[in-house]
Structure 1
Amino acid sequence: MTQPNPAIVPQSAVRRLPRIALWLFCAAYVLPGMFGREPWKGNEFNTFSYMLALAEGSSDWLTPSIWGRLPELDALLPYWLGAWAIQIAPPWMSAGLAVRIPFAMLLALTLASTWHGVYYLALSPQAQPVAFAFGGEAKPKDYARTIADGAVLALIACLGLALLSHEVSPILMQLALVSFVFYGVAALPYHPRYSLTAVTIGLLGLCLSGAPSFAVLMAVGSGLLCLLDRQSTSIQTARLHALWLFLVGMLVAALAYTLDIWHWRLLPLHDDPQAWRSLLRLLVWFTWPAWPLTLWTLWRWRRQWASLHWSRHLVLPMWFTALTVSTALLTHSSSRTLLLALPAFATLAAFALPTLRRSVAALIDWFTLLFFSGSALIIWIIWIAMQTGWPTTPAKNVARLAPGFEPSFGWLAFIVALAATAMWGWLVVWRSAKNRHALWKSLVLPAGGAALCWLLLLTLWLPLLDFAFSYKPWVQQIQTVMAKQDAGKTHDVCLLSYGLNTSQMTAFHYHGGFDVKPVDKASAAQQLGCPWLVVDNDLRPELPQVVRLNEWTRVRSIYRPADKKENVTLYHRRQP
């Protein structure tokens, strides 16, 4: 016979995960990648371009732009935050490092908000385990703390969180604010004043972070859930909470309309089976290993969420998951939008822990052990090949994919990576020998393995990754060519550009110190004062329509070292 409540948990199973261990897990995940690198190309450098423009005073704060180009996302708060960080940073700190510090704090806020949100959901009577006839069941707060620990471990273990959560981009701020709203709604029956404040701040922040319609849907949906929840609060209190959420939703809509950031970006549903298969594959690997545990939760707790007297610890994360996943299916940036679903996925995954069978837990452990141990071994082997040239095949592959890269040995990175690998070995032994009855045991290895591989990549491989994904080596290469062509200075000089995107032009300005002027925007007088011209190779046939080629000498084409598709041609103005 199936129990109405599937959670049968003794007090011995809710042993507290040591706080130092949880803090180390979070630190090992948040800190790598903050130091020792430049902004990487793609979303991060594009976002950084507008932050730098705001900080230098070359852009209007209410309409961030650079060289007359607007950002893809109508977000204000992320750009403001980065610009403020650049302005208050000390002189010795680079702008790239300055903007990463507040965004690393946003990732920490995501983890903290998820923990506290799950804690209050697990405190609800419907989530508590079955009471034993003679006592000995898990105490409410100990049980809630254990489930919250498991949720944070599940969130860290999600594969899709790794890269996007460490980039300086509006989506990371949206992730932190969604988690903050999730915490506020989850804690509403326990701390109404603080919770409503958190919800209000989170929803208004989402509006200013490029997701006003998403914020309105969250407000309305959360308000309806408050009205339907008849077990956590009185009817009058639930109505007051719902009214507040509806008013905040209206305030968000009014703010978005006032700032003219209310734009429709949803796409119609795909009619191509291949597109649906791609989205399904993205969903499977992006949310691994949370999605199998989520399905298990929905099955084992089905009587709690499928009945009229539903449980808020299930319905609330289900609502957040449904909203974010459906939005991801209807947008261009499915992976970035899907990132917002991970806290809710981790919450549902955590509630699978009280119902997991020993065989399922053992399967998770074995798969995780093999996958992450193998991944860590590959990272070490390729690093050894970069340092010594042996094994030869990985060394040749690195030389082929990143021509011009010169490996360097860093003692600090080596010691940190070695210590992390030793901790992984100790964690595997500890997991198999101790605390076998703790609920969070099944997520220790997934979270530890994810943190280990991310830390190894951002210590051992950091010079290689920075060489491959930053613009600095490319700009330095172009500066070297300029110095050979002209013995004059290559810093603080005018540089015309044609066909370059925002990130490329910012790279020449930030890494090279050039005064970059798009040739189609510059006046004739400005063109006469610029000794250099950089042209995207794909647009070279159109160049005679923009400049007089008889005034320029073609120097050479220069490819970005790690990407042959990204190449420009350098021109030098002929002397009269």
Structure 2
Amino acid sequence: MLTYVPPAEREVSVVPSQKPWLLVLLCVLWLLPGLVGHDPWKPAELETAAVVKRFVQDGYWVLPRFADVAYLEFAPLYYWSAAVLAWPLSRLGMDIHDAGRLATGLWMALAMWGIGLAGRELYGRRQGRVAVVVLIGSVGLVIWGHQLAPQVLLVAAFSWHAFALAHSTRRPVLAGLALGLAWLVLLLGASWAEFLLALASALLLPIFKPWRRAVFLAAFVTALVVSLPIAAVWALWLHQFSTAAFDAWWRFDALGPFGGFAHLRWFHRFGFLIATVPWFTWPALPLAIWGIWANRRQWREPGIALPALMAGLTLVWLACAGEVRDYSLLPLLVPLALLATASIDALQRGAAAALNWFGMMTFGIGALVLWLAWFALHTGMPPQLLQRIEALNPDHVPSVAVPGLIFAAILSVVWWGVLARKRPLGRLAVTNWACGVTLFWGVLIGLWQPWLDETKSYREVATGLAAAWGERSGCLDVSSTPQAMVVSLDYFTELKLRRYDGRPCRWQLHQGLALPDESVLWQGARRGDDARERFYLLAK
């Protein structure tokens, strides 16, 4: 039963004793791989690294920007947090992108903490850890939980949003402060669209009896008092700093996937959600559906009502948005993980065994393939596999990253030990799945990070162009260059770039193949890229 009672009166569920430090260890092993040791990668890290570099070097923190343009797709909170870490660490010799990426680890740790507290509040002791395990086991979170990118704020904010709403009927002031801070993260780190989604879920909660109380109203008002005035400070600061930038943000970017207040965008292309939601939210989605069905008679109770309302509103919000990408689904993971927690111990034996077996086979075979491919790359055996790998990056020179090799080996051994632990079958399935995700990601980064760095980083191209530029003066016209290359030049070099500035530049950078009559001063590309991904420098 999910009948709500205060935590002090709840009975301890019959679950075998589990050591909390093992959950902490799993979270650390999930978090660490990929946070440091590689260049900014496409598609999201390049812009963030360039913005953070501008903050660290220029000292103007109100307007996110790179090259000669503003970058207002997200509000600046994540860039501020990354710059706060990067400013001192870069002076100690750490790369700005590595230092800034540590902010992602901190925000993800906050997200795990928040959803763990929300699960404990809604379902009782020892249930919060299930919510954490389901969250980090979600396939779509693996990349975005390790990227130098502001999207991670969405997971942290909605995790604490869920906790605050669950807590609001008992301690309104504390819940109101937590709720206000979660909303402030959305206003200062994402857009008004995500804030309005969170606000709508809070406004509709009084439909259910547990929130139809004066204490919830007190928490709601406290949250508004905390979030809105502080968020307005940045908007006023931006307006004072650059009226043009503020107008552009307000008109085109303030509502995120819905555009801006002057140019609303509705209803993206059909089929995106159908194709993306199942794999991005796996296995949280099927477990959440089972949680709703198994507790359908308690649908008015907090453990079902709150996350189901959040999930339903998020799906409607996504369906109506004018522009969505895979990271737009990140707010959906939080309520799905909570719904999955609702009945994980009552999961049917056949379904739990199937999920457990599927996870062990998928990630076990995946990790084995990564090890075999790495062995082939460094020993030449088998030659057929080596040829396939070299075709993807023919210029790669194999080198062994000893710390990564040791980490991958230890993780592989630990994974086998985890599989042998005994626990209820439902918890066994989700824990083994999360451990499998951690294994695959850890082995991928530990063994293949140098290889991935060569195929995803523009460092060599940017520094090669800077070396060919030499002592030339003037600006470089990059108006016809893809944004990824523009951002890389801004981050890795000190070239004076012109993109939207109307002033002419003698030097121009283009992508593709040069015409026969053009005088090419330099050309280059990332390793493994074809002719269409090549860049060349012209003098006009």
Give the TM-score, by structure 2 length: 0.86
CA offsets 1:477-499 (integer angstroms, 9 cap, x no match) = 5467x3xxxxxx94997662432
Q: State the alpha-carbon separation in 2 of the partners of residues 78 and 388 from structure 1.
A: 43
Structure 1's 193 and 244: CA in aligned 2 closer, same or farther, altered over 3 A? closer
Name which of 285, 296, 307 aligns with 1:302: 296
Structure 1's 380 and 10: CA in aligned 2 closer, same or farther, altered over 3 A? farther
Q: State the alpha-carbon separation in 2 of the partners of residues 108 and 186 from structure 1.
A: 20
Displacement of 1:507? 2.2
Moved more, 447-456 or 178-187: 178-187
SS at match of 2:94: coil
User: Does structure 2 retain, via aligned residues, the 8 Å contact 1:327–1:337?
Assistant: no
CA offsets 1:415-469 (integer angstroms, 9 cap, x no match) = 1111111111112222xxx33x376222111010001001011110111111111
Which letter maps to 1:230?
K
Structure 1's 235 and 534: CA in aligned 2 closer, same or farther, altered over 3 A? same
Q: State the alpha-carbon separation in 1 of the partners of residues 113 and 523 from structure 2.
A: 49
Q: Does 1:35 align with 2:36?
A: yes
Give the equivalent residue in structure 2 for 1:388. Answer: 379
Give the equivalent residue in structure 1 for 2:7. Answer: none
Q: State the alpha-carbon separation in 2 of the partners of residues 440 and 10 from structure 1.
A: 19
User: Does structure 2 retain, via aligned residues, the 8 Å contact 1:151–1:347?
Assistant: yes
Which residues in structure 2 correspond to 1:226-305 (within 5 Å)?
Answer: 227-231=206-210, 235-245=213-223, 251=229, 258=236, 260=246, 261-262=249-250, 263-264=254-255, 265-266=257-258, 267-269=265-267, 275-276=270-271, 278-305=272-299
Displacement of 1:521? 4.0
Give the equivalent residue in structure 1 for 2:525. Answer: 559
Give the equivalent residue in structure 1 for 2:451. Answer: 464
Q: State the alpha-carbon separation in 2 of the partners of residues 249 and 61 from structure 1.
A: 20
User: Does structure 2 retain, via aligned residues, the 8 Å contact 1:216–1:249?
Assistant: no
Moved more, 493-502 or 195-204: 493-502
Name which of 178, 181, 204 aligns with 1:201: 181
Give the equivalent residue in structure 1 for 2:388. Answer: 397
SS at match of 1:49: helix
SS at match of 1:555: strand
Structure 1's 166 and 210: CA in aligned 2 closer, same or farther, altered over 3 A? same
Displacement of 1:269? 3.1
Q: State the alpha-carbon separation in 2 of the partners of residues 200 and 186 from structure 1.
A: 14
SS at match of 1:458: helix
Displacement of 1:172? 1.1
Which residues in structure 2 correspond to 1:51-450 (within 5 Å)?
Answer: 51-57=52-58, 60-71=60-71, 73-89=73-89, 90-122=91-123, 144-225=124-205, 227-231=206-210, 235-245=213-223, 251=229, 258=236, 260=246, 261-262=249-250, 263-264=254-255, 265-266=257-258, 267-269=265-267, 275-276=270-271, 278-305=272-299, 310-329=300-319, 330-430=321-421, 434-435=422-423, 437=424, 440-450=427-437
Give the equivalent residue in structure 1 for 2:489. Answer: 508
User: Does structure 2 retain, via aligned residues, the 8 Å contact 1:413–1:459?
Assistant: yes
Structure 1's 453 and 147: CA in aligned 2 closer, same or farther, altered over 3 A? same
SS at match of 2:323: coil
User: Does structure 1 retain, via aligned residues, the 8 Å contact 2:97–2:148?
Assistant: no
Q: State the alpha-carbon separation in 2 of the partners of residues 4 and 411 from structure 1.
A: 50
Give the equivalent residue in structure 2 for 1:135. Answer: none
Displacement of 1:73? 0.5
Displacement of 1:190? 3.8
Structure 1's 86 and 385: CA in aligned 2 closer, same or farther, altered over 3 A? same
Displacement of 1:188? 2.0
Structure 1's 523 and 391: CA in aligned 2 closer, same or farther, altered over 3 A? same
Displacement of 1:215? 1.1
Displacement of 1:66? 2.7
Which letter maps to 2:534?
N
Which letter maps to 2:448?
W
SS at match of 2:523: strand
Structure 1's 508 and 256: CA in aligned 2 closer, same or farther, altered over 3 A? closer
Higher gyration radius (CA): 1
Structure 1's 492 and 364: CA in aligned 2 closer, same or farther, altered over 3 A? farther
Runs of 4+ residues over 6 Å off in structure 1? 9-12, 491-495
Structure 1's 385 and 331: CA in aligned 2 closer, same or farther, altered over 3 A? farther
Aligned residues: 510
Q: State the alpha-carbon separation in 2 of the partners of residues 515 and 556 from structure 1.
A: 15
Displacement of 1:242? 3.7
Q: State the alpha-carbon separation in 2 of the partners of residues 248 and 223 from structure 1.
A: 17
SS at match of 1:536: strand
Name which of 511, 518, 537 aligns with 1:537: 511
Displacement of 1:288? 0.5
Q: State the alpha-carbon separation in 2 of the partners of residues 194 and 180 from structure 1.
A: 12
User: Does structure 2 retain, via aligned residues, the 8 Å contact 1:402–1:468?
Assistant: yes
Moved more, 448-457 or 388-397: 388-397
Q: State the alpha-carbon separation in 2 of the partners of residues 396 and 534 from structure 1.
A: 37
Displacement of 1:534? 5.1
Q: State the alpha-carbon separation in 1 of the partners of residues 499 and 287 from structure 2.
A: 55
Give the equivalent residue in structure 1 for 2:243. Answer: none
User: Does structure 2 retain, via aligned residues, the 8 Å contact 1:475–1:508?
Assistant: yes
Displacement of 1:409? 0.8
Q: State the alpha-carbon separation in 1 of the partners of residues 39 and 235 from structure 2.
A: 36
Q: State the alpha-carbon separation in 2 of the partners of residues 103 and 388 from structure 1.
A: 36
SS at match of 1:55: helix
Question: Tell me, which stretches of 5 or more residues in structure 1 are unaligned?
Answer: 123-143, 483-488, 528-532
Q: Does 1:454 align with 2:448?
A: no
Displacement of 1:286? 0.4
CA offsets 1:305-334 (integer angstroms, 9 cap, x no match) = 1xxxx1111111112222333333324233
Q: State the alpha-carbon separation in 1 of the partners of residues 98 and 474 from structure 2.
A: 26
User: Does structure 2 retain, via aligned residues, the 8 Å contact 1:492–1:514?
Assistant: no
Q: State the alpha-carbon separation in 2 of the partners of residues 216 and 516 from structure 1.
A: 39
User: Does structure 1 retain, via aligned residues, the 8 Å contact 2:173–2:222?
Assistant: no
Q: State the alpha-carbon separation in 2 of the partners of residues 213 and 254 from structure 1.
A: 15
Which letter maps to 1:536?
H
Query: Percent of aligned positions with the same letter in both sequences?
Result: 24
Give the TM-score, by structure 1 length: 0.81
CA offsets 1:217-267 (integer angstroms, 9 cap, x no match) = 312431431x344347x8332332344446567658866875555434424
User: Does structure 2 retain, via aligned residues, the 8 Å contact 1:32–1:458?
Assistant: yes
User: Does structure 1 retain, via aligned residues, the 8 Å contact 2:508–2:538?
Assistant: yes
Structure 1's 224 and 391: CA in aligned 2 closer, same or farther, altered over 3 A? same
Q: State the alpha-carbon separation in 1 of the partners of residues 275 and 482 from structure 2.
A: 31
